[in-house]
Amino acid sequence: MLSHENLLATAKGHLMRLDKANIKSPLTDRHCSFLPMAHIYERFILLQALLRGTQLVFCPAPEKLPNYLSIVKPSQASVVPRVLNKVYDAIMTEVSKSKIKKFLVQQALREQPSFLSHFAFRKVKNLFGNEVKVMITGAAPITPDVMHFFRIALNIPIMEGYGQTESAGAGTSTHPTDMSYGTIGSPVPVVEIKLIDVPGTTYRSEMNQGEVCIRGPSVFKGYYGDEAKTMEVLDKDGWLHTGDVGEWASNGALRIIDRTKHIFKLCQGKYIAPERLEDIYIRSRWVAQIFIDGISTETTVVAIVIPDEEYVRKNFQSIATETAFADLCKNEKLKEIILSDLKRLSEKYKLKTYQTLSNIYLHPELFSQNNGLLTVTLKTRRANARKHFQSIIKSLYQVDPTTASRVS
């Protein structure tokens, strides 16, 4: 249950941070809304825009977002890493085809924004309408390489925020002048944050690590009709226990390093935070959605992968274009390609052996609210997914990943 006060507190907190950085918002500013309205991130961004008198334009078809951005020409952009990742990956794939382009981009990304970066990335600015003055990213972690690219390419302040629905989106945000990477800023002015010990782990507050707890006027009243669940996350002193594990960096900014929710344990005693791994593996252009899971008697993790149909049809040359997508997902060669790309990401982000996928299952149907596998905020219903794919997950440990892609 979120009150009007909760939402106003969050919006006010973020506005105070922008005002302190002297980022003004004249009445001519525009915001293009394309994220789900059920998402608290979009809700407080819209309320923030209303408080500043910003013009609001709603994008009715998110898949046509580039077209709307070119028309609306927003002054401020609120995005999620998934959008930035797609743009970044598409650009870098194209750049890699030309040695000259690759050299120019590498040089442009070496230092601060310059004439070279302005020349090399002018088309990137055009993608966002060419008039964006400030960008905010949130709802999921963004990798340092992607953040660095857009800071140079757009030459504007890019702020990263952290929060939860239960805190009306309030938590931390980076300062507009903060150019560091891998952290999510300091507490917004309306909340307090503390770290507490995580039982059963080595995370201790005395070591500057622990579960992130938030308190303040933005924190929710509880879960409607579910007092037991409310008591699990909201203690008697008003602290919201987020389930995220963080640590304070030397500059006073928070860094998220693990999760206490949805974790599971492998047989060698290693804990897996699947959502953090999914944030890495989703970077594969072959992947539209991914669900990572494991069994406590095994030493590795496996995944249900929903391939990106458009990308597969464009780049997988071994099949006829009229082949049904369900049949494509049975193709052994396609599975090998996708698994290989996922292992490439594992190496790139220096994942441990037990965090590297040992096998995958290609599923042709996207997770959605209709099939009960997505929430209204587009997050995976993990309990439902685990139950739905239970037999398949078990079978992935019983077959050689190079000889079987689907299990009947």
Band (pLDDT 50/70/90 cuts) for residue 400 is low
Q: Is 404 helix (H, G, I), strand (E, B) or coil?
A: coil
Q: What are the start and end residues of each CATH 3.30.300.30 domain in the chain?
A: 264-396
- Whether the Cβ atoms of residue 166 and residue 237 lie closer than 8 Å to each other: no
> Quick one: 264-396 is in which CATH superfamily?
ANL, C-terminal domain (3.30.300.30)
pLDDT tens-place string over residues 73-92? 888 888 888 888 888 888 88
Band (pLDDT 50/70/90 cuts) for residue 264 is confident
Q: How far, in Å, CA of 16 to CA of 14, rounded?
A: 5
Q: What are the start and end residues of each CATH 3.40.50.980 domain in the chain?
A: 24-156
Instruction: Give me the residue label for tokens 């797609």.
Output: 86
Number of Cβ within 10 Å of residue 399's Cβ equals 14
Quick check: 240 pLDDT over 70?
yes
Could you tell me which residues come within 8 angstroms of residue 203 by beta carbon, excluding any fewer than 6 positions away? Answer: 197, 209, 210, 211, 245, 258
SS (H, E, C) 290-306: EEEECCCCCCCEEEEEE
Band (pLDDT 50/70/90 cuts) for residue 405 is very low
Quick check: 406 pLDDT over 50?
no
Q: What are the start and end residues of each CATH 2.30.38.10 domain in the chain?
A: 187-259
CA-wise closest residue to 360 among 303, 287, 286: 303
Tokens of 36: 């789900």
pLDDT tens-place string over residues 337-389? 999 999 999 998 889 999 999 999 999 999 998 999 988 777 899 889 999 99
pLDDT tens-place string over residues 140-186? 788 888 888 888 888 888 889 899 999 998 899 988 888 888 889 89
Q: Which burial class, exposed, middle or buried, applies to 93 when counting CB atoms under 10 A from its CB (0-12, 13-18, 19+)?
A: exposed
Could you tell me which residues come within 8 angstroms of residue 281 by beta carbon, excluding any fewer than 6 positions away? Answer: 287, 290, 292, 303, 342, 345, 346, 357
The mean predicted confidence, pLDDT, of the chain is 86
Quick check: 404 pLDDT over 70?
no
Q: For residues 105 and 207, which has the higher predicted lDDT (pLDDT)?
A: 207
- Mean pLDDT for 218-237 is 91
- pTM of the predicted structure, to 2 decimals: 0.73
pLDDT tens-place string over residues 34-87? 888 888 888 888 998 888 888 888 888 877 888 888 888 888 888 888 888 888
Architecture (CATH level 2) of domain 24-156: 3-Layer(aba) Sandwich (3.40)
Q: How far, in Å, CA of 152 to CA of 110, rounded?
A: 9
Q: How far, in Å, CA of 152 to CA of 149, rounded?
A: 5
- Tell me the CATH class for 187-259: mainly beta
> What pLDDT does 399 receive?
67
